[in-house]
């Protein structure tokens, strides 16, 4: 079969750092080719080379057999290469059509001709079964739909080869299924796809072949049907990886976190958490499963004191912490791995050592009489860096310079080190690779085994199923059901998350969905 793209022995160097070395990727026409690697392995660099954002220091690129010099993204566009970015490049208050024509607006007598453009957008959308309304405004449509707009944008500009950069990172399980259908339809229409991901399940589901890179080196290309997730994982990480997190049955004791009839409003004054009840006990991990935007963020912010509670009660080990200041909540024995590590978790311009003492800088032994002993901060940082395998040049390196996985390890080290009664972990593995995920999961379980309470919030069903002892499903600000991971299925959770209440006791009760009784 013909190769539409060949990247041969690509090498890219930044200063002393070799980002890509001797990587070969050959994309056949009409295939979905996955590019697999850990965070920081060099996937993005390689794709930026292909897209013309970086110039390679070695190797060559051939498109349809012909050697090319992709000096900038326009050259890539002309060669029919389109990129669907992980973070969408859309103007929120523009319509779909306006976004698609942005930068190459068709004009009639010098005036933008949106009507014809909208017609073409509709045609292309129908051809590939994308089902996009050309007149919808971006901020009104779902994330999945926005992604389709991104896909449509590349197709509209005549892309034959589509690069998908971590396309499922922000999608719901249902949207992922739809995306996979779209990708298959694109292939059927003669397009070729490079799929950048570190999710093995997706690769097994959709790709034809996989090229694996590790630490900037090309490891090789395998045919998907002839490999297994375990083999891919070990190729990617360079060692054997445990998938199913090993853990003993939970041994829950006293209630630590108790939430009663909690109501929380968001900044617009809309009730996001509605009369929510929940408790977490010592020695158990309670996972909150739900689709993004169903009140998870507001719930965590309410517990940690970052957001005012409208009504209801939150206690930690019997002590009322409702509407307490964040510092008081922290001092009451709460650790919090925040969902946005850049916004809340770290002061990125601070050294990583300062970040590790971000909540303890004012306490002994670090601080006495308002004077900080920075040697103690460094000492603590070195401890955490060693114990949590944070890869850094040392306590004085700015947090910004660390990779996402290592930033997260530092945060987890900081939170767990204070040995909190309750550890709240919000999307603790977002954007991390298999190795780091494994490490973080085992730390959460370790904390549980030490008799602490853990509250895990995640959008990933795999994670919730693997790590939790109980799963509380949240929908529209309420806990709609509490299930045990060993007694439920992903399908059931998916339905609960989408708001289909299942009768209590019918844990396998998909067929009884018609009865539709509320549990509360």
Partner 1 sequence: MSTKATNILVPVISVILGLIVGAIIMLVSGYNPVDGYLALWNGIFGDLYTVGETLRQITPYLLAGLAVAFAFRSGLFNIGVEGQLIVGWFAAAYVGVAVELPKIIHLPLALLAAAVAGALWGFVPGLLKAKFHVHEVIVTIMMNYIALHVTNALIKTVSGGGDRTESIFASASLRSEFFENLTEFSRLHYGIILALVMVGVMWFILEKTTLGFELKAVGFNHNASQYAGMNVNKNIVLAMVISGAFAGLGGAMEALGTFEYVSSKAGFTGIGFDGIAVALLGMNTPLGVIFGATLFGSLKYGALNMPNAAGIPLEIVEIVIAVIIFFVASGYVIRLFLLRAAKKKEAK
Q: How far is the CB of 315 from partner 1 (least distance, A)?
A: 19
Closest CB to partner 1 among residues 354, 380: 354
Closest CB to partner 1 among residues 43, 336: 336
Closest CB to partner 1 among residues 243, 374: 374
Is 335 an interacting residue with respect to partner 1 (CB under 8 A)? no
Is 26 an interacting residue with respect to partner 1 (CB under 8 A)? no
Of the candidates 514, 466, 468, 474, the one whose C-alpha atom is nearest the C-alpha of residue 496 is: 474
List 58's β-bridge partners, or say none: 11
Of the candidates 86, 89, 61, the one whose C-alpha atom is nearest the C-alpha of residue 195 is: 86
Segment near partner 1 (CB under 8 A), from 287-295, 354-362, 433-441, 512-520? 354-362
Segment near partner 1 (CB under 8 A), from 146-154, 217-225, 274-282, 344-352? 344-352
Closest CB to partner 1 among residues 234, 323: 323
Closest CB to partner 1 among residues 61, 300: 300
- In sequence order, the 6+-apart residues with CB closer than 8 A to the CB of 244 are 466
Q: How far is the CB of 86 from partner 1 (least distance, A)?
A: 22
Is 268 an interacting residue with respect to partner 1 (CB under 8 A)? no
- In sequence order, the 6+-apart residues with CB closer than 8 A to the CB of 254 are 281, 282, 317
Taking the mean position of all CA atoms in its chain, how far away is CA 453?
A: 24
Q: How far is the CB of 307 from partner 1 (least distance, A)?
A: 11
Closest CB to partner 1 among residues 88, 361: 361
Write phi, then psi, for 46 (nearest 5 degrees): -60, -45
**Of 18, 136, 169, 306, which lies in the binding site for partner 1, with binding defined by CB under 8 A?**
306
Closest CB to partner 1 among residues 25, 346: 346
Q: Which helix (H) or strand (E) holds 156?
A: helix 143-156
Closest CB to partner 1 among residues 13, 141: 13
Is 67 an interacting residue with respect to partner 1 (CB under 8 A)? no
Is 14 an interacting residue with respect to partner 1 (CB under 8 A)? no
Of the candidates 246, 210, 215, the one whose C-alpha atom is nearest the C-alpha of residue 229 is: 210
Q: How far is the CB of 461 from partner 1 (least distance, A)?
A: 27
Taking the mean position of all CA atoms in its chain, how far away is CA 374?
A: 35
Q: How far is the CB of 308 from partner 1 (least distance, A)?
A: 13
Segment near partner 1 (CB under 8 A), from 219-227, 358-366, 459-467, 484-492? 358-366
Q: What is the dihedral of CA 389, 393, 397, 399, to 10 degrees?
A: -30
Size of the site for partner 1 (CB under 8 A): 27
Is 370 an interacting residue with respect to partner 1 (CB under 8 A)? yes
Is 11 an interacting residue with respect to partner 1 (CB under 8 A)? no
Is 515 an interacting residue with respect to partner 1 (CB under 8 A)? no
Long-range contacts of 180-183 (CB under 8 A, 24+ apart): 180/205, 180/206, 181/129, 182/128, 182/129, 182/130, 182/148, 182/151, 183/32
Could you list the beta-strand ranges (E) of 189-328: 192-197, 209-214, 217-223, 255-265, 271-281, 285-289, 311-316, 319-320
- In sequence order, the 6+-apart residues with CB closer than 8 A to the CB of 2 are 28, 29, 64, 65
The conformational region for residue 495 under phi > 0 = left, psi -120 to 50 = alpha, else beta, is alpha
Contact characters 371-400, partner 1, x per CB under 8 A: xx----------------------------
Segment near partner 1 (CB under 8 A), from 34-42, 361-369, 386-394, 476-484? 361-369
**Of 26, 39, 227, 359, which lies in the binding site for partner 1, with binding defined by CB under 8 A?**
359
Is 18 an interacting residue with respect to partner 1 (CB under 8 A)? no
Is 59 an interacting residue with respect to partner 1 (CB under 8 A)? no
Q: How far is the CB of 431 from partner 1 (least distance, A)?
A: 18
Q: How far is the CB of 332 from partner 1 (least distance, A)?
A: 11
Closest CB to partner 1 among residues 399, 465: 399
Taking the mean position of all CA atoms in its chain, how far away is CA 207?
A: 20
CB 361 within 8 A of CB 369: no
Is 308 an interacting residue with respect to partner 1 (CB under 8 A)? no
Long-range contacts of 264-269 (CB under 8 A, 24+ apart): 264/295, 264/298, 264/299, 264/301, 264/302, 264/307, 264/308, 264/309, 264/310, 265/298, 265/310, 266/298
Segment near partner 1 (CB under 8 A), from 40-48, 130-138, 162-170, 356-364? 356-364
Segment near partner 1 (CB under 8 A), from 204-212, 336-344, 429-437, 502-510? 336-344
Closest CB to partner 1 among residues 359, 379: 359
- In sequence order, the 6+-apart residues with CB closer than 8 A to the CB of 395 are 351, 352, 353, 356, 377, 378, 381, 382, 385
Which alpha helices (DSSP H) does 418-503 contain, by range? 434-449, 461-467, 490-497
CB 90 within 8 A of CB 168: no
The residues binding partner 1 (CB under 8 A) are 304, 306, 325-328, 330-331, 336, 338, 343-350, 354, 358-359, 361-362, 367, 370-372
């Amino acid at each position: 079969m013909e190769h539409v793209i060949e990247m041969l022995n690509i090498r890219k160097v930044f200063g002393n750092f070799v980002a890509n070395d001797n990587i070969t990727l050959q994309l056949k026409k009409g295939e979905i080719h996955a590019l697999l690697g850990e965070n920081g392995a060099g996937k993005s660099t390689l794709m930026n080379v292909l897209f013309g954002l970086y110039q390679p220091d070695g190797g060559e690129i051939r498109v349809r057999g012909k050697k090319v010099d992709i000096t900038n993204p326009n050259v890539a566009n002309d060669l029919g290469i389109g990129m669907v970015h992980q973070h969408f490049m859309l103007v929120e208050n523009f319509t779909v059509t306006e976004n698609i024509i942005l930068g190459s607006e068709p004009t009639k007598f010098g005036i933008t001709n949106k009507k014809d453009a909208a017609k073409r957008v509709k045609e292309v959308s129908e051809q590939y079964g994308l089902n996009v309304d050309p007149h919808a405004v971006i901020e009104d449509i779902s994330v999945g739909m926005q992604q389709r707009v991104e896909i449509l944008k590349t197709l509209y500009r005549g892309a034959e080869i589509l690069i998908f950069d971590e396309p499922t990172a922000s999608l719901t399980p249902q949207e992922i299924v739809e995306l996979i259908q779209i990708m298959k339809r694109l292939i059927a229409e003669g397009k070729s796809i490079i799929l950048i991901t570190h999710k093995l399940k997706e690769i097994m589901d959709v790709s034809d072949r996989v090229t694996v890179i590790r630490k900037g080196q090309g490891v090789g290309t395998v045919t998907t049907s002839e490999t297994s997730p375990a083999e891919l994982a070990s190729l990617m990480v360079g060692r054997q990886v445990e998938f199913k997190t090993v853990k003993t049955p939970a041994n829950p004791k006293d209630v630590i976190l108790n939430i009663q009839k909690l109501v929380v409003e968001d900044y617009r004054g809309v009730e996001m958490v509605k009369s929510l009840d929940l408790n977490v006990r010592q020695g158990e991990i309670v996972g909150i499963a739900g689709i993004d935007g169903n009140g998870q963020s507001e719930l965590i912010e309410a517990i940690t004191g970052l957001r005012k509670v409208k009504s209801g009660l939150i206690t930690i080990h019997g002590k009322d912490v409702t509407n307490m200041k964040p510092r008081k909540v922290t001092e009451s024995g709460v650790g919090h791995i925040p969902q946005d590590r850049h916004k809340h978790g770290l002061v990125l311009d601070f050294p990583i050592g300062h970040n590790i003492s971000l909540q303890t800088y004012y306490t002994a032994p670090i601080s006495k009489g308002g004077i900080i002993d920075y040697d103690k901060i460094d000492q603590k940082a070195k401890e955490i860096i060693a114990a949590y395998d944070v890869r850094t040049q040392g306590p004085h390196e700015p947090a910004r310079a660390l990779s996402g996985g290592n930033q997260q390890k530092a945060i987890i080290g900081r939170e767990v080190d204070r040995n909190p009664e309750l550890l709240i972990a919000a999307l603790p593995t977002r954007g991390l690779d298999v190795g780091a995920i494994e490490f973080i999961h085992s730390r959460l379980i370790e904390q549980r085994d030490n008799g602490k309470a853990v509250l895990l919030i995640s959008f990933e069903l795999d994670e919730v199923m693997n790590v939790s002892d109980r799963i509380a499903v949240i929908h529209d600000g309420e806990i709609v059901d509490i299930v045990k991971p060993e007694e439920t299925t992903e399908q059931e959770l998916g339905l609960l998350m989408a708001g289909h209440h299942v009768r209590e006791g019918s844990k396998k009760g998909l067929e009884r969905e018609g009865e539709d009784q509320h549990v509360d």
